[in-house]
Amino acid sequence: AQSVAQPEDQVNVAEGNPLTVKCTYSVSGNPYLFWYVQYPNRGLQFLLKYITGDNLVKGSYGFEAEFNKSQTSFHLKKPSALVSDSALYFCAVRDPINTGFQKLVFGTGTRLLVSP
């Protein structure tokens, strides 16, 4: 069964500095990978996804993610963090075999705190 791991419960970064939120995955076959962000008392907002193609995926709000097949990783990055980026970030993987089935398996989440 597919799974994702987010090894850091919390990441702290100063505003203006680059940020990285880590995610590793385990799937059979080619992975479909996603990043979502959740603000307090809100649903999940889609940031970006990797299906195939370039290993560097660009998404919303200046975020990007790097897919690394050999390390089975899909880390979220941003060159310059903003205080407003402070939120809970979730990595997710979808069943790549049954493409008609869209079940997402989520990690436990990483809280990002950006200090002024």
Partner 1 sequence: DAGVTQSPTHLIKTRGQQVTLRCSPKSGHDTVSWYQQALGQGPQFIFQYYEEEERQRGNFPDRFSGHQFPNYSSELNVNALLLGDSALYLCASSWTGTSGTDTQYFGPGTRLTVL
Residues lying near partner 1 in the complex (CB under 8 A) are found at 32, 34, 36, 41-46, 49, 51, 90, 92, 98-109
Least Cα distance to 114 among 13, 8, 45 occurs for 13
Point out which residues pair with 75 in neighbouring strands.
66
Q: Give me the least distance between CB of 17 and partner 1, in Å please.
A: 26
CB 66 within 8 A of CB 76: no
Cβ distance to partner 1 smaller for residue 110 or 114: 110
Q: Give me the least distance between CB of 37 and partner 1, in Å please.
A: 11
The DSSP symbol for 55 reads S
Point out which residues pair with 50 in neighbouring strands.
33
CB 19 within 8 A of CB 77: yes
Q: Give me the least distance between CB of 66 and partner 1, in Å please.
A: 19
Q: Give me the least distance between CB of 103 and partner 1, in Å please.
A: 5
Cβ distance to partner 1 smaller for residue 14 or 51: 51
Cβ distance to partner 1 smaller for residue 45 or 80: 45
Three-state DSSP at 39 gives coil
Cβ distance to partner 1 smaller for residue 14 or 56: 56
For the chain, the residue count is: 116
